[in-house]
Amino acid sequence: MSVQPILQIATAIPTSPVGLVLGSTVMTKAILALLAALSLASWTIMFAKWRQFASVRRQSARFLTKFENVARFDQAIGIAAREDANPYTRVLRRAADFLAGGGGGGIGTSGSAAARAALLTASQVEALRLLLDAETNAERDRLARFIPTLGTIGSVSPLIGLLGTVLGVIDAFVGIATKGSGNIGAVAPGVAEALIATAAALSVAIPAVFGYNLFANRLNRFDGELDGFGSAAIALIVRDGGHGGE
């Protein structure tokens, strides 16, 4: 007689994660659905950013290899015109537009870039530096899009899982109060729901935090490289100006 209730309790408790999810409360299912949506969003962002960074790196590497061998600014502009658009070519073209437009100091549009660079004053060189810094920041912001979202998902997901854990523990205590005892049949469903919510939250947060740190580091490295390229472009322009004035 004492064995039958135990068997009934054992068969009433789900024995697989899927069964635990299907048998969970509406609130727990809602939390799990939210975590699933956050996981899908984070993996979508990581895949998209991986493709974007790989494309930028591939196009930029080809252009930078050619840029390292140029001796004149006009040559660099010609190479940029033939290459696919990338952050480095856009920075270089911004410098070319500055020279072509006169740089705010009446340089004029006639003659070569070297001839126009020869007329640059110190204040105009500084203005060009600020202009390229602004373009660098714009390129960085373009690549940084959605990366903070990964950080948000990584920090919020554990809190959502904690909410599911608390609700599961509450459900366990309600089971104890309803059945009037603390046996395994009263406690196990609520505890299982709590553990599932915790595991789901960690499975969302860990990849999101990893992806955020990975792409943030790549973005910082790219920002430093692009800033250095802007300085190299200005040095090439000033050197051209020095040659043009001889």
Domain boundary assignment for the chain:
20-102+112-244
List pLDDT tens digits, range 70-92.
888 888 999 988 888 899 999 99
22-31, 76-85, 165-174, 177-186: the lowest-pLDDT one: 177-186
User: Is 186 or 50 the better-scoring residue by pLDDT?
Assistant: 50
- Phi/psi zone of residue 146: left (φ > 0), alpha (ψ -120 to 50 degrees), beta? left
* Residue 184: pLDDT over 80: no
Report percent pLDDT > 90 for the chain.
Answer: 40
User: Is 105 or 194 the better-scoring residue by pLDDT?
Assistant: 194
Separation of alpha carbons 181 and 175, rounded Å:
8
Q: Which two tokens stand for residue 191?
A: 């505890």
> For position 179, what pLDDT does the model report?
67
* Residue 235: pLDDT over 50: yes
Going from the C-alpha of 83 to that of each of 60, 132, 217, the distances in angstroms are 9, 20, 27
> For position 9, what pLDDT does the model report?
43
DSSP 97-158: HHHHTTTTTT--S-S-HHHHHTT--HHHHHHHHHHHHHHHHHHHHHHHTTHHHHHHHHHHHH
- Mean pLDDT rounded to a whole number for the chain: 81
* Residue 119: pLDDT over 80: no
41-45, 53-57, 119-123, 198-202: the lowest-pLDDT one: 119-123
Q: Of 101, 81, 103, whose CA–CA distance to 92 is shortest?
A: 81
Neighbours of 18 (CB within 10 A): 9
User: Is 47 or 7 the better-scoring residue by pLDDT?
Assistant: 47
> For position 2, what pLDDT does the model report?
45
Average pLDDT rounded to a whole number, residues 151-162: 94
User: Are 202 and 158 in contact, with CB atoms under 8 Å apart?
Assistant: yes
DSSP 59-110: HHHHHHHHHTT--SHHHHHHHHHHSPP-HHHHHHHHHHHHHHTTTTTT--S-
Q: Count Cα atoms within 13 angstroms, Cβ side, for 3.
A: 0
CA 46 to chain centre: 7
* Residue 8: pLDDT over 50: no
* Residue 106: pLDDT over 80: no
List pLDDT tens digits, range 13-48.
555 666 666 666 788 888 889 999 999 999 999 999
